[in-house]
Amino acid sequence: MAGIFNLDGLWRSFLPPEFADSGQHRIIAVVKTAISAALAILLAWIVARTDTPARGTLEILITLPFFIPPVVTGMAWALLGTPRVGALNLLCSR
Q: What is the distance between the alpha carbons of residues 75 and 65, in angstroms, rounded to a whole number?
A: 14
What does the pLDDT look like over 37-62, one tens digit per residue? 999 999 999 999 999 898 889 999 99
Looking from the CA of 14 toward its CB, the CA atoms found within 13 Å total 4
The SS3 call for residue 67 is: coil
- The reply to whether the predicted model has a pTM over 0.85 is no
DSSP secondary structure code for residue 64 in this structure: G
What does the pLDDT look like over 64-90, one tens digit per residue? 888 888 898 889 888 888 888 888 887
pLDDT of 19 over the 70 cut: no
